[in-house]
Amino acid sequence: MVKPPKGFRHRTRKLLKKHIRERGAVPPLSLLMHEYKPGDKVYIVINPSVMKGMPHRRYHGKTGTVVGKRGKCYIVQVRVGGKVKTLIVRPEHLRPVPPEALGGSKEGGEGGEQ
């Protein structure tokens, strides 16, 4: 028997697959030029065409908090189970969390009592 592969991208055939019309496309400049500040919430969405600064597949789809910057990369803390993990991720694999997803609607808490 041959031992199964245990590389960094093993079992990612479906997870790191792009849509057919997105293949070969570079990430939009608006995502690359976005400046994240410490405390910002980000989604980790792996771009499979960019190998540098790619987090492990277990963090794909997770939400993290930017802690700082190291060169071109950002230091992101992600909560997995009861632990807080620190990742070093390039901006190609990050998306900003929209403000409405963070706090919800502002008038939602006041309108209940009438």
CA gap 106, 89 in Å, rounded: 32
Q: Reading across the β-sheet that carries 83-89, which strands appear in turn?
A: 83-89, 73-80, 63-70, 41-44, 94-96
- Superfamily per CATH, domain 38-95: Ribosomal protein L21 (2.30.30.70)
- 99/40: higher pLDDT: 40
**Tens digits of per-residue pLDDT, 17-28?**
888 888 877 778
Whether the full predicted model's pTM is greater than 0.85, yes or no, is: no
Q: Where are the domains of the chain?
A: 38-95
Q: Which helix (H) or strand (E) holds 74?
A: strand 73-80
Of 44, 20, 57, 60, the closest CA to residue 92 belongs to 44
Average pLDDT over residues 5-9: 88
The pLDDT tens digits of the residues spanning 35-86 come to: 999 999 999 999 998 889 999 999 999 999 999 999 999 999 999 999 999 9
Q: How confident is the model at residue 105 (pLDDT cuts 50, 70, 90)?
A: low
Q: CB of 89 within 8 A of CB of 44? A: yes
